[in-house]
Amino acid sequence: MAPPRRHRVVAALAAALLSTAALAACGSPGSDPGSAKATGTQDAVDAALQAGGTITYWTWTPSAKAQVEAFEKEYPKVKVNLVNAGTGNDQYTKLQNAVKAGSGGPDVAQIEYQALPQFALTGALADLNQYGFGAFQKDYTASTWSSVNVGNGLYGLPQDSGPMALFYNKADFDKYGIAVPKTWDEYVDAAKKLHAADPTKFITSDTGDAGFTTSMIWQAGGHPFGTDGRNVKINLNDPGAQKWTKVWDQLVQGKLLSTVKGWSDDWYRALGDGTIATLVTGAWMPGVFKSSVTAGSGKWAVAPMPTYDGQPVSAENGGSAQSVLKQSQHPELAAAFVRWLNHGNGVKPFIASGGFPSTTADLNSPSFLDAADPYFGGQKVNQVLTAASGAVAKGWSYLPYQLYANSIYVDTVGKSYLNGTAIGDGLKAWQSALVDYGNQQGFTASAG
Partner 1 sequence: MTSTAMPARSRPARALTRRHHRRGWAFVAPFAAVFALTFVAPLVYAFGLSLFRDQAFFGGTVFVGLGNYTQALGDPKFWEAFGRVLLFLAVQVPIMLLLALVAAFAIDSARLHAAGFFRMVIFLPYAVPGVVAVLMWGFIYGDHFGLAADLNHLLGRDAVEPLSVNWILTSIGNIVTWEFVGYNMLIFYSALKVVPPDQIEAAAIDGAGALRTIVSVKLPAIRGAIVVATIFSIIGSFQLFNEPNILRTLAPNVITTYFTPNMYAYNLSFGGQQYNYSATVAIVMGVITAVIAYAVQLRGQRKER
Binding residues for partner 1 (CB under 8 A): 13, 16-17, 20-21, 23-25, 27-29, 31, 93, 96, 100, 121-122, 207-208, 230, 259-261, 264-266, 269, 400-401, 403-404, 407-408, 410-411, 414-415, 417-418, 437, 440-443
Nearest distance in Å: CB 260, partner 1 = 5
Nearest distance in Å: CB 415, partner 1 = 7
Whose Cβ is closer to partner 1: residue 25's or residue 76's?
25
Which segments of 230-321 does DSSP mark as H helices, in order? Answer: 239-253, 265-273, 285-292
Angle between helix 409-419 and helix 210-219 axes, rounded to 10 deg: 80
Whose Cβ is closer to partner 1: residue 56's or residue 96's?
96
Rounded to whole angstroms, the Cα distance separating 412 from 404 reads 13
If one counts every other C-beta atom within 10 angstroms of the C-beta of residue 253, the result is: 14
Whose Cβ is closer to partner 1: residue 144's or residue 227's?
227
Residue 67 belongs to what H/E stretch?
A: helix 64-74
Q: Which residues contact 378 (CB under 8 A, 6 or more apart)?
A: 372
Nearest distance in Å: CB 361, partner 1 = 37
Whose Cβ is closer to partner 1: residue 85's or residue 341's?
85
Nearest distance in Å: CB 264, partner 1 = 7
Helix (H, G, I), strand (E, B) or coil at 282: strand
Whose Cβ is closer to partner 1: residue 195's or residue 330's?
195
Whose Cβ is closer to partner 1: residue 9's or residue 179's?
9
The answer to whether 167 touches 279, Cβ cutoff 8 Å, is yes
The answer to whether 122 touches 407, Cβ cutoff 8 Å, is no
DSSP labels, 345-370: TTHHHHHHTT--B-BHHHHT-HHHHT
Whose Cβ is closer to partner 1: residue 234's or residue 334's?
234
* 139: phi then psi, degrees, rounded to nearest 5: -90, -10
Q: Which of 426, 158, 385 is nearest to 281 (CA)?
A: 385
Nearest distance in Å: CB 14, partner 1 = 10
Between the two ends of the chain, the Cα-to-Cα distance in Å is 62
Nearest distance in Å: CB 433, partner 1 = 10
Whose Cβ is closer to partner 1: residue 29's or residue 102's?
29
If one counts every other C-beta atom within 10 angstroms of the C-beta of residue 36, the result is: 10
Nearest distance in Å: CB 308, partner 1 = 27
Nearest distance in Å: CB 418, partner 1 = 4
The answer to whether 311 touches 92, Cβ cutoff 8 Å, is no
Number of H helices, E strands in the chain: 20, 15
Nearest distance in Å: CB 417, partner 1 = 5
Whose Cβ is closer to partner 1: residue 37's or residue 100's?
100
Q: Which of 339, 342, 346, 333 is nearest to 107 (CA)?
A: 333
